[in-house]
Structure 1
């Protein structure tokens, strides 16, 4: 009963007042009111999504850098199979330095990104979590159709960092595997030591986090299970 009273007050405050048209009793008024709320919700949804696109681009760039490292390692393997001479060894040494530099820069970027956005994701995903629950409750309680758009926008914002974080984890594991596939036994001892150093550093993986849990596809699934559970609780209380 308390939830119904709260929702009725909110609905009354959000009504679109049009002179000579009552949206509750007039079909035209209802349609105008519905279109108005879809438009407002659409603008709100776009604003929410766009603010996250810059962050998404940063994460995509990290994934691309892992692909670049993969190509560099493939090129390194090709060089190793060439005839052993001074020119080949110099090229390998330069390529090793490039790989170390790119990988080091990538890890520095991920460390800064994860530390910088950890609290942001805690607030953002927590708010979106609540938003989805409220939208589901509003839809099921009084047919708030724009709530579907809010759910789509919120789901997208939760899903994308979880998806991209999963990709980063996969790419990092692939990078480690590619290092293990290097023909290290054909390298000079000095380069073998450098390869071991790269392998050790590659095992330091960074993933997006809210501070309490890592963001990945499994986390996304667990979130939606929790959303459903809380929604059912609200349904019982309504």
Structure 2
């Protein structure tokens, strides 16, 4: 009897150990199946975050509802940024892009001049936005004044896009002499014109009967054999067609 008792006890203990191990593994599986514990938002963190996109949309709505009085526009813009610790340059730039898509040229002029009066955003991109808006709004005198200021200050550092813009503005209005002056400045400074600028100058030479200058222009700036386009985010090479210009 004693031998039987001693032999049965270790078997019972082994079975109990295996049962406990099975239960523990089963509990682990069930806990893992429930997933992570739910995280509750912190009390001291605000969940309402206003980004630059929503701020720029509010700025566009604020500006479009105003009149063309300078004091009223500047006062509304000042009150819009009154509680900002720093000047919201990114918000203003996004608002200008939105206004440009909507062809709100007067509002672009007002907002850009207000930003420049604050001493903020004085970059070539801001000046080009203002120049483009002035040209599209028909303020040729102000556009020429801004162009002369930029060209006299920067001179050799003037970006090519400014030359192209002024040539296209003068081409639309039939001001051929001004086109020739800017094109001469480009050649003197060594700025290579774009394909669209060369095509505009070639058309003017043909209209005025300057065929010798037209031939020299084509020899100096021949049309490219290939052009690159972006189709669905991919760069594709295509044969250049001058009729597209």
Name which structure has the greater RCO, CA cutoff 8 Å, separation 6+: 1
More strand by share: 2
Based on CA coordinates, which of the two structures has the bigger radius of gyration? 2
- Superposed pair shares fold, TM > 0.5: no
More helix by share: 1
